[in-house]
Chain A
Amino acid sequence: MPDARAEFKEKALPLLDELYGVALRMARNPQSAEDLVAETYARAWKNLDRFQAGTNIRAWLYRIMTNAFINEFRKKRREPEKVSMDAYDRVDDFHFFHKIASEASRAPDPVKDVVARLTNEDFQKALDALPEEYRAAVLLYDLQGLSYDETAQALEVPVGTVRSRLARGRRRMQESLFRHARDAGLVEVPS
């Protein structure tokens, strides 16, 4: 299968940086992230005959990586993360903006006054604090720009579940970011 192997090397190796970035946010630990990425490439290479030429190699690699993470890496932890899916009946997709618009008094230009002044660490903390299944959906869809179908395939759940995890994940991130903004004095909320 020399052609498939050559094609894989040509297309998959340039994805190392972004796969490592996602692995790092999934595993939240550099050594685990390296092992996860290496395992992903090893599995892909071994199962190259299952990869159909012309399909999306990026989505395929994310699918392998997500599977490896769920089945192997997460197993090693003592307690699997459980998420209550009914935490929010009606999710406000734009919680952060609405909080600023309705309650805060010190942000006439929310993009410049708030978003631009939050730190990279604030964003990373908000992402890292998400339950794993929400974080995976946000990573693949919002950060890496996969489509709903690709994200659903990678996570092996229906598209509706992807949408629901995204909505809940974003809501939680926006709550965290609002708290960071308030604690940093970027917004003032009447007590």
Chain B
Amino acid sequence: MTPNDPMSAPCCQEILDRLHDYLNRRDLSVADRETVRRHLTDCPPCGDLAAFENALLDRLRQSAPCACPEKLRARVRALLDLS
């Protein structure tokens, strides 16, 4: 939050409503990203929550490293080359 400008500072709930959009990195404008980033830096409770959610997402993404099996790769290549 920006104490010097309370009228324009978003409240915590507004920020948390947009937290997943922020963490996904696809659905916020540059200006909105900056607003969320600044709030998370300035507001420790929201910052802690965001760090927790981000860590959960990271672990979730890393929990299933999947390499396509070679036989499937060969199958798909054959499909494209032979058609």
Contact = CB atoms under 8 A, between A and B. Distances in A.
A30 B19 CA distance: 34
Interface string A146-179: 1110000000000000000010001001100100
A111 B71 CA distance: 39
B55 A41 contact: no
The SS class assigned to the A binding surface is helix
Given A34-B72, A145-B25, A115 B59 contact: yes
A143 B61 contact: yes
Q: Say what secondary structure dominates the interface of chain B.
A: helix
Interface string A123-155: 110010000000000000111011110000000
A94 interface: yes
A25 interface: yes
Contacts, number: 106
A60 interface: no
B56 A21 contact: no
A96 B56 contact: yes
Given A24-B64, A118-B59, A146-B26, A9 B80 contact: yes
Contacts of A46: 83
Contacts of A145: 24-26
B79 A45 contact: yes
B18 to A, nearest CB: 11
Contacts of B69: 20, 30, 34
Interface residues of A, number: 46
B51 A24 contact: no
A38 B26 contact: no
Interface of B: 16, 19-20, 24-27, 48-49, 51-53, 55-57, 59-69, 71-73, 75-77, 79-80, 83
11 contacts: A5-B80, A16-B72, A17-B68, A21-B64, A24-B66, A30-B69, A37-B68, A115-B59, A123-B60, A148-B27, A174-B56
Given A38-B79, A110-B52, A147-B24, 15 more contacts: A16-B73, A16-B76, A19-B68, A20-B67, A34-B75, A37-B68, A37-B72, A41-B80, A94-B52, A97-B49, A111-B51, A115-B55, A143-B60, A145-B24, A166-B20
